[in-house]
Amino acid sequence: MEFSEWEPVYEGILEDMGYDRSGDEACVRVLKAVTMNSDLITDDEAAEFFQTIATVFGDAPCLESDIGIHPPEGTLIASGSSVRRLASLDIRPDVVVTDLDGEIGPQLDASAAGALTFIHAHGDNSDLVREYAGQFKGPVILTTQSRPENTVFDFGGFTDGDRAVCIAQSFGVRKVILEGFDFDNPSPKAGSDPSVKLRKLSWARRIIDSLEGRIQLVRLSE
């Protein structure tokens, strides 16, 4: 998704959620500073990780049952919070899309094993960026939901899950299988307001829906 298309959606999210664009952009500066010694790769190099089919894993309670119904295929793209659950099933992602929320150890393990990690900066995760972003040993792409610049990309997307689908589409994936996606029944998270989570997932659904026609979407839990 080009930024010219994404920016109006982003502005709608800022208005609806009450977020501050300057906070997102400040976090980008932190992310760039702490990953100066990371294995930052180009988008051309990142393209080598993607096939024409991908399975994108969310963290909804239906994840394990979805995997049982439809064995994953193609490029395996995990939202950050799903990586631990995938590891318990002996599934190693090729790509991880994360804002560093959730259990970080499995994400670092996936990176050390060679997964490409898209690390995302936004106004609420500066502390996590400072603590963890520089620890990823595998290849890394930096992302923002605000204006892209040089080594920081914006492929569209708000939550890890819908951003993963936007990334897949941007890298030429033609068919995306959604596993562990339930926009009405998210997994509970300590310290997270369920009503806010549902508002975020409403945006995630809209963003994924907007990609219909550009890619084939297989929605197991809808």
pLDDT, tens digit (0-9, with 9 covering 90-100), for 105-124: 999 999 999 999 999 999 99
Report the percent of the chain where pLDDT is more than 90: 90
Residue 170: is its pLDDT beyond 90? yes
CA-closest candidate to residue 207, choices 21, 58, 57, 6: 6
Domain over 3-219 is classified CATH 3.90.1480 = yes
Task: Give CA–CA dist 197/104, Å, rounded.
Answer: 20
Residue 222: is its pLDDT beyond 70? no
Task: Give CA–CA dist 30/24, Å, rounded.
Answer: 10
Task: Name the band, by pLDDT with cuts 50, 70 and 90, for residue 191.
Answer: low
Strands 152-153 and 53-57: unpaired
Task: List the chain domain ranges.
Answer: 3-219
Residue 97: is its pLDDT beyond 70? yes
- pLDDT for 187: 78
> Could you count the other beta carbons within 10 Å of the beta carbon of residue 151?
14
CA-closest candidate to residue 145, choices 170, 172, 121: 121
Task: Give CA–CA dist 75/86, Å, rounded.
Answer: 14
Residue 84: is its pLDDT beyond 80? yes
Contact 65, 88 (CB under 8 A): no
Contact 14, 21 (CB under 8 A): yes
DSSP 46-99: HGGG--SEEEEE--STTHHHHHHHS---SEEEEEGGGHHHHHHTT---SEEEE-
Average pLDDT over residues 84-111: 97
